[in-house]
A and B are shown apart, each in its own frame.
Chain A
């Protein structure tokens, strides 16, 4: 059982380019989340999904979009990357909203 996988592991991206970070879970969890982690700021929620077909905005949603076509996948898209989106991105899932979240290994993104 893999739990949560994220791809790519790391990426260097030119500003203005479009990028999709992938997240897949095999635990059949209903809820999924995207966070960014920055030094001194901790983990901040970008978007979440309580169940397939629904999404919601977190604390820092601007510049990002998500979709939840099925239970297992929750991709995060940067439509036009900017340097301030340089960060480590973590995907997480929980059996239902509010219960313990389990995190993926992260994607390290550098926007130049």
Chain B
């Protein structure tokens, strides 16, 4: 069964303290891995899409990387405004109707 697991469930960091969020997946035939940010009371906001192992994408203090079994979202020198829930999603398989599977998210809290 295809699965997406995010860790940790929650993370508290001091402002400026860099860290990484993990998204591990077991799927047959990865077609794409997506990272989203979700603020309380709002819909998920797209951050990155990664398609193949070794690929990296960056946006401000965030960098996403992908291996054959997991993806990391690295946060460098975070600020309080980076506090949010970060969601990982994976699309897998060969069928045109294959769905996207979401992880349960990591709640990130950056303390000033």
Contacts and interface: CB of A to CB of B under 8 A. Distances in A.
A and B held together in a complex:
yes
Interface in A52-86: 56, 58-59
B42 A59 contact: no
A67 B8 CA distance: 38
Contacts of A42: 87, 102-105
Contacts, number: 52
B16 interface: no
B96 A50 contact: yes
Nearest to A90: B43
B49 A100 contact: yes
A101 B34 contact: yes
Contacts of A103: 36, 43-45
Contacts of A45: 99-100
Given A40-B104, A41-B104, A42-B103, A105 B96 contact: no
Contact of A97 (B89, B97, B102): B97
Contacts of B43: 4, 90, 92, 103-106
Give the one of A4, A43, A50, A99 with max B CB within 10 A: A43
A98 B104 contact: no
B31 interface: yes
Contact of A43 (B45, B98, B102): B102
6 contacts: A59-B99, A92-B43, A101-B34, A101-B100, A103-B44, A104-B43
